[in-house]
Amino acid sequence: MAGNLREVLPGVFETILPNEKKGINRVRVLILPGDPGERSLMVDTGYGTPSCQERVEWALATLGVECATLDLFVTHKHLDHCGLAAALAGKGARVHMNPVEDRHRYDALYQIMDSRDPAQVHLLGQVGITPEKQPEAWARFVRYDDQVKASVLYTIQPFDYTHVAGGDVFSCGGYRFHTVWLPGHTMGQMGLYEPDKKLFLCADQVIDGVAPIVGTSFPDEHLLAGYFRSLADIKHKYSDGLVIPAHGPYLGEYPAWAKGWAGAAPVPGVRHAVDKIVFAYLDKVDMIKHILDASKRRLTVMEVACIAYGIEKIPEGEWAFFQFKMIVTKAFSILEYLYEEEFALRTEIDGTLYWESATR
């Protein structure tokens, strides 16, 4: 069999696409075949790898869905969610995405570093990674440039798409989804909510047992604060239904209409999952505040990240270095939050941002 496919709700089919590198999660793709004369809907694509493409095309063919009548909803522009968007668009699918996902030429996770690109040089300099300040880290970025960019797993081919805004409606197969803006994991991440059936496709915003990465490389974007507000909305507006994330187990208590859902046993409710994520981030916020309070000098983002996560040397290996990159961007978002809440001071010197306690 070319792939796996199961009907998880009436008219909603799930295929789980594999990870091809250690440490990278599998991703859940949902397909809703349209009624006769109606367009079908697919939520996310998985990675842009041959095996993912084979599975997706097999799933679509099995369900009798043609790309010419397919609306592809990309929740956010990370490689595991839009890796096949260009390929499917080339076969006739209409791609839909929030244009805020393209607000920067380079972003924390969805594009790969290029130390020869002036934009990337600027961003690395902001966090304190330059040939002079951090020669080892700088050399590692340069070393992995060509190696990582040559990997199809980390490549997002450009694709045209229709702009999506909060409140837009996608109707398909008896479902009427409203788009919900979910800032945090990315600035422009979008989810889909079916109010009558109380079904919420929350992308990477809430994953049980995991605190999704909130990483940014840009100041004054309030990404972590936006994530906290979004989680509060999920907790109070959507937690009485079935919440389906793109990774990991299903969340939420089963409403009466979903008793026939053929999934695993329910995990702790959405409210509990949201609380765990918030507490995990607040714990790290508190830790980084204490690092600033205890420091006798200003620190760069990279210095704070290495102290907070116990990194004594720049890690070797493609995946380990990718994780290091994510850790630096996560520390950036936490420092920005402390700055916004007036617990930290931020100073720019020769293109590098330095941080110190505002309450010491």
For residue range 122-176, list pLDDT tens digits in order.
888 999 999 999 898 888 877 776 666 666 566 788 899 999 999 999 999 999 9
> Where does the pLDDT of residue 21 fall: very low under 50, low under 70, confident under 90, or very high at 90 and above?
low
Of 3, 10, 2, 12, give the one whose Cα is nearest residue 43. Answer: 12
Residue 354 lies in a domain: no
Look up residue 349 and give its two tokens: 């010197």
Cα angle 167, 170, 173 (rounded to 5 degrees) comes to 145
pLDDT digits (tens, 9 = 90+) for 246-269: 987 655 555 555 555 544 433 458
Residue 281 lies in a domain: no
> Where does the pLDDT of residue 114 fall: very low under 50, low under 70, confident under 90, or very high at 90 and above?
low
pLDDT score, position 347: 97
Query: How are beta strands 299-300 and 352-357 bridged, if at all?
Result: antiparallel
In sequence order, the 6+-apart residues with CB closer than 8 A to the CB of 318 are 21, 144, 147, 148, 151
pLDDT score, position 1: 46
Residue 154 has φ and ψ, to the nearest 5°, of: -100, 10
When mean pLDDT is compared across 106-110, 120-124, 274-278, 299-303, the lowest value belongs to 106-110
Average pLDDT over every residue of 35-52: 93
Higher pLDDT, 19 or 57: 57
Please check whether residue 303 is in contact with residue 292, taking contact to mean a CB–CB distance below 8 angstroms: no
Residue 326 lies in a domain: no
Q: Which residues of 49-66 are buried (b: 16+ CB within 10 A; e: fewer)?
A: beebbebbbbbbeebebe
Residue 353 lies in a domain: no
185 pLDDT above the threshold of 90:
yes
When mean pLDDT is compared across 111-115, 213-217, 230-234, the lowest value belongs to 111-115
Residue 153 lies in a domain: no
Residue 340 lies in a domain: no
E strand or H helix at 201: strand 199-203
- Domain span at residue 77 reads 6-103+161-274
Residue 28 belongs to domain with CATH number: 3.60.15.10
Average pLDDT, the chain: 87
CA atoms of 170 and 258, how far apart (whole Å): 21
Neighbours of 8 (CB within 10 A): 17
Residue 30 lies in a domain: yes
- Percent of the chain exceeding pLDDT 90 equals 61
Residue 66 lies in a domain: yes
pLDDT score, position 267: 43
Of 189, 103, 186, 117, give the one whose Cα is nearest residue 149. Answer: 117
In total, how many domains does the chain have? 1
Polymer length of the chain: 360
